[in-house]
Structure 1
């Protein structure tokens, strides 16, 4: 079968290659998935550079890249209750390949008609769901998202709109304001065109009430400005650090606003979904089946160089995925 592999640590553009490797042989409690689509995420590049903590470490030679995907169940091992022919998403290892062996406990069953461009990045839908829950923003209260063009932010926006939560989407530059608004953003702030104080701009938008939640994927000076326009008791959820810049705060910027600062880590990073999570995961699938994905291109595995290059150098055009 075809797979994108690497046999040394390094920059993805330098170490990845298209390889022919054997179709995996499944063990007890494993499932053979015929991959239909696999997403390309920033975390995949961390794995290739050996930056993830244990046990997320590559094994050489020919470690198959990719951590998230979806496909059709081809075979099941002893002890597996799932049936061949079913559709499932997974966040595990080895997704950039035509077939992958996955322990059954890591699979998330999905309806047969669930969109492949969403199923292969179900990790992002779970993350968006959890971020909105963690922010604790109520209907009518304001939520701010940084990196508004990103996959996570567009998915959070759509969930927030369903729940009556107005969203301020902050972007470095935007050419399609109407697109972000159609994806749930109430107001889009373009930093490249903005003049003056962002804090005052947000206070004006919210009628001087401030924002109750910030989901920050970037960091840098803008985060400091956003903190200063939170309502009392608001939350800052840190979900990324795209900016290399820092920001400066005084204790009173946090203390006098009763601000809670929390990190977010993907809930299934180290451990698989629990049986009692399946009802929640089913609800996420039902609520998001009609969502608009920001996938801009689907690539064959043979076109991996283009897919990787355009994913590393993120543009407004959207996410790139592999289609098998």
Structure 2
């Protein structure tokens, strides 16, 4: 099998594609023939030794994929060869084959394309967990989504709308904001050209926003927090701009608001039944047309490093997918 390998810590350009021996599942594991793998921000960090998971070199990055079960271990129940599944892994998904524990799988609903499935669970699962669980979002509340054109940001825009909220989307270009509008955003803020704090207060009638979805970090976090409404919630999802903000503790005190951490990966591991219920709701919304996953670009495995670079440099809106279909014509 072929795999995209990290053999030394550093930028995506250091990654190489090599042929490796075929994988075999352990007794409680499943072997998956990967058809597509979603590219996520942890993939950017893990190859640079900046993520909390630090595998031994060499390794293949990739945290989620979709494909078909090829073989199961002797003690695996409820999964069989031929099943279409989404698989979660800390790393290893950017390969033609991946082995995961059987409890790290979700069945792909009938009619769902495997490309879409590979780019769905992490982004939408994270955003649902953030907004509905950690953020306790209520119908009629106002949500500010920072980095709204990214994978989790665009998912948050759609989920907030499906939950009955008013959505303010913030991004850095007019083109990215147009994508946000197409996916349901009610109001737009270009924080490259506009004063973020002033625009939030203008759009909220001076009240501030009830929930802030923040996968960006840096200076935007404090500016948004200063616009949090009474009893509002700031959801710390990630730090895509590379800077972890240092916030003044008097701000949540004065506003009676909460700063809430969101770590979907650990939620998935610690509370798998709750996560499965979240995904069931998301699949239902998808079937009802309330969610519209946006795959901006597909790359073959041979160009997997470019896929990670595109995400790293914020060159795309929505999700990037690595295409590993067995029937794909290779050039």
Q: Shift of residue 317 of structure 1?
A: 4.3
Q: For the residues of structure 2 that align with 1:206 and 1:124, how far apart are their CA atoms?
A: 27
Shift in Å at residue 51 of structure 1? 2.9
Regions of 4+ moved over 4 Å: 244-252
Matched, 1:2 2:5: no
Alignment match, 2:137: 137
Aligned partners of 2:97, 2:244: CA distance in 1, in Å?
42
Residue 44 of structure 2 contacts residue 308 of structure 2 at CA under 8 Å; is this kept in 1? no
Equivalent position to 1:262, from 255, 260, 263: 260
Deviation of 1:46 after TM superposition, in Å, equals 2.0
2:49 aligned with 1:63, yes or no? Answer: no
* Aligned position for 2:80: 83
After TM superposition, the structure 1 = structure 2 runs for residues 195-206 of structure 1, keeping only pairs within 5 Å, are 197-206=195-204
The alignment yields a C-alpha RMSD, in angstroms, of 2.3
CA distance in 2, matches of 1:240, 1:105: 26
User: Which has the larger displacement, 198-207 or 76-85?
Assistant: 198-207
* Structure-to-structure mapping, 1:1-324, within 5 angstroms: 1-14=1-14, 16-53=15-52, 56-60=53-57, 62-81=58-77, 82-92=79-89, 93-121=91-119, 122-133=121-132, 134-175=134-175, 177-194=177-194, 197-243=195-241, 251-268=249-266, 271=269, 274-275=272-273, 277-289=275-287, 290=289, 291-324=291-324
Residues of 2 paired with 1:299 and 1:132: CA distance? 31
Number of aligned positions between the proteins = 318
- Partner of residue 328, structure 2: none
TM-score, normalised relative to structure 1: 0.89
Deviation at 1:251, TM superposition (A): 4.7
Deviates more, 1:142-151 or 1:42-51: 42-51
Distance 1:319 1:306 in 2: 14
Which deviations, in whole Å up to 9, do the C-alpha atoms of 1:212-265 show, x marking residues without a partner? 111112223332222222211111111122345686765543222101112211
5+ residue gaps, structure 2: 325-331
Q: Distance in 1 between the 2:160 and 2:62 partners?
A: 29
1:249-292 Cα shifts (integer Å, max 9, x gaps):
65543222101112211244783763564333322222234432
Q: 1:83 to 1:306 in 2, by over 3 A?
A: same
**Partner Cα distance (2:12, 2:246) in 1:** 33
CA distance in 2, matches of 1:36, 1:46: 24
Give, in whole Å, the separation in 2 of the partners of 1:317 and 1:20: 31
Measured in 1, the distance between the counterparts of 2:63 and 2:171 equals 27
Counterparts in 2 of 1:3 and 1:226: CA distance versus 1, 3 Å: same
Moved more, 252-261 or 147-156: 252-261
Which secondary structure state, in structure 2, belongs to the residue aligned with residue 164 of structure 1? coil
Question: 1: distance between equivalents of 2:61 and 2:249?
Answer: 43
Look up the SS of the partner of 1:96 in the other structure. Answer: coil
Is contact 1:154-1:184 (8 Å) kept?
no
Q: Would you say the 8 A contact 1:110–1:282 is kept in 2?
A: no
Secondary structure in structure 1 of the residue aligned to 2:87? strand
Whole-angstrom CA distance in 1 between matches of 2:18 and 2:149 = 33
User: Helix, strand or coil: the match of 2:26?
Assistant: coil
- Counterpart contact for 1:148–1:169, Cα < 8 Å: yes
